[in-house]
A and B are shown apart, each in its own frame.
Chain A
Amino acid sequence: MKILVCISNVPDTTSKITFTDNNTAFNNQGVQYIINPYDELALSKAIDLTNSGANGSITVITVGDSSTEATLRKALAIGADNAVRIDSRPLDAWYVANQIVEYAKDKNFDLILTGRESIDYNGGQLAGLLGDLLQIPSVSIVKGLNVINNEATIEREIEGGKEIIVTQLPVVIGAAEGIAEPKIANMRGIMGARTKPLDIIASTMVDPLTTIVTYEAPPVRGTVTLIEEDNIDELVSLLHHRAKVI
């Protein structure tokens, strides 16, 4: 099985989020970058499906500048076979999807895995865009995946339950919690990652469809009203009369 895993290079979940250039760009000063946690799940699933590479190959791909290579090396250390970096700033999701399609379209991947969303820009767009552009099925928010021969059985999250879907490969999957246990790199993996191929490919011309104009901090919440534990009626009354939520 030939698998492509799309990797987004994102600020660590504890990062302080601030902006520069008059609030038009993310301030990456002192920020640690990690593999987007959902992409880590996707990669872990790919390793399970190929039985650690014995039954197939795993390519990881990112659209980003050279600073994303550390993250790609980490993916190689966890278990990918080779890495591809498309050398460009990710202008918007449409732009990124088209870059990945340009690379993937003639390579006959059986499975393309993305995360359900990136934890920085949170668009949740890539899986659907890739599916449409490649004219193959896509399933977003996938909690379970099983592949037998050429058929995938997919567990998709729905409101208040789940849906079991079957499809023939190839398919694009947006990985969510539950799809796999996250794997960590061991010493052998880290050593081996240094010599695995990491190809750098030039980007193709695509006009983005959206632009982030400015960032702002979310509104600050008021201070907390503390209520004594012997005075719970007051809480109920405040929720009813003041907050009007019960």
Chain B
Amino acid sequence: MSVLIYIENTDGVLKKSAFEAASYGKEIADSLQCDTVAVSIGNVTTHELEKLGNYGVKKVINITNDDLKTFVNQAYAAVITDVATKENAQVIIFTNSFTAKGLAPRVASKLKAGFVSGAISIPVITENSFQVKRTAFSNKAIATVSIQSDIKVITINPNAFAAKEVEGHAEIVNFEPSLESKDFGTMVKEIIRNTDKISLPDAEIVISAGRGLKGPENWGMIEELAQLLEAATACSKPVSDAGWRPHSEHVGQTGIVISPNLYIAIGISGAIQHLAGVSSSKTIVVINKDPEAPFFKVADYGIVGDAFVIVPKLIAAIKAHQGN
């Protein structure tokens, strides 16, 4: 028996969320009294994979097959299912990335495994029940879900669980999967990356701005603040609808749902649909000229005033702080 973790990398470097998933899996493995096994697909060095040992992973199944260089949903799902079966995996953990959103349900379907996405707690496991909490109704409720199937698939959000270092060593085992042509129904033609930008779903700090900024020409100070704090930029829906910012920055109920450590909202009123996407951020700072703006009700820190005055001051204060 084992707990299997699917490990993602970007250009050969393990994502921070990979270590979070490893630690999450390790806690489940401890309560099931079994080992944590990781599976990695792509060109990741042994040295890089060995880091997982410090997060409780006992063995890494390393797949470097050339045909799997780019993401092929069906083939990846088949390979992970194959590994899960060989390792007798009881629970399979993914990070809730854009890729895993396509992959995890296919793996779950192949194994007839009950699937819970976006888990926010460590499962409570007893002899005859397995329960885990997740958010529902777009962050407006928390649901406790019981999984009845023998095998369980869980995805966890980036940033939701802290990675925990432990003493340990991971054995790296190279694995040559058997691939079938029927699983290569899709082909990646091109990958377009916004290279200079921090990825929004993974970001620990997010600077977000709304209609209060008046126009796209005023985003310079937002980007400067983001750069200073190594933060990603985000926006409200009307801002992306108006084409001031790209759709990929739109957060909320109908956009991306994020839970960074720090969310700074500038000139955003805090409509219920916006809050649905950001209310699980650990710390929320709101800058708005209207003291009655609903966003202040869910903020930890607030400044009432004109963004065009406050943001430059904030940039100066952070520069002074970083200078020390």
Tell me which of B186, B200, B303, B318 has the highest count of chain A C-beta atoms within 10 A of its own C-beta.
Answer: B186
Q: Are B148 and A208 within 8 A (Cβ)? A: yes
Which residues of chain A (163-186) have a CB below 8 Å from chain B?
A: 163-168, 171, 174, 177-178
Known interface pairs A221-B284, A225-B301, A238-B301; 13 further A-B residue pairs with C-beta atoms within 8 A, sorted by A's residue number: A11-B137, A120-B138, A123-B115, A125-B105, A128-B104, A128-B109, A138-B102, A158-B99, A159-B202, A221-B279, A225-B302, A226-B296, A243-B300
Interface range on chain B (Cβ under 8 Å from partner): 35 or more
Q: Are A245 and B142 within 8 A (Cβ)? A: no
Which residues of chain A (137-179) have a CB below 8 Å from chain B?
A: 137-141, 143, 153-154, 156-168, 171, 174, 177-178
A229 at the interface (CB under 8 A from B): yes
Q: Are B262 and A166 within 8 A (Cβ)? A: no
Q: Are B253 and A131 within 8 A (Cβ)? A: no
CB of B15, distance to nearest CB on chain A (Å): 8
CB of A171, distance to nearest CB on chain B (Å): 8
A136 at the interface (CB under 8 A from B): yes
A17 at the interface (CB under 8 A from B): yes
Q: What's the Cα separation between A208 and B149 when bound, in Å?
A: 9
Q: Is the interface of A mostly helix, strand, loop or mixed?
A: mixed
Chain B contacts for A162, CB-based, 8 A: 191-192, 248
Chain B contacts for A139, CB-based, 8 A: 73, 102, 186
- 18 A-B residue pairs with Cβ-Cβ distance under 8 Å, sorted by A, are A116-B101, A124-B105, A128-B73, A129-B106, A132-B105, A156-B98, A156-B102, A159-B98, A162-B192, A164-B189, A164-B191, A164-B192, A207-B148, A210-B115, A226-B303, A227-B301, A239-B285, A243-B283
Interface string of B260-297 (1 = CB under 8 A from A): 01100000000011001001101111100000000011
Which one of A14, A138, A216, A217 lies within 8 Å of B106 (CB-CB)? Answer: A138
Q: Are A229 and B309 within 8 A (Cβ)? A: yes
Q: Are B191 and A128 within 8 A (Cβ)? A: no
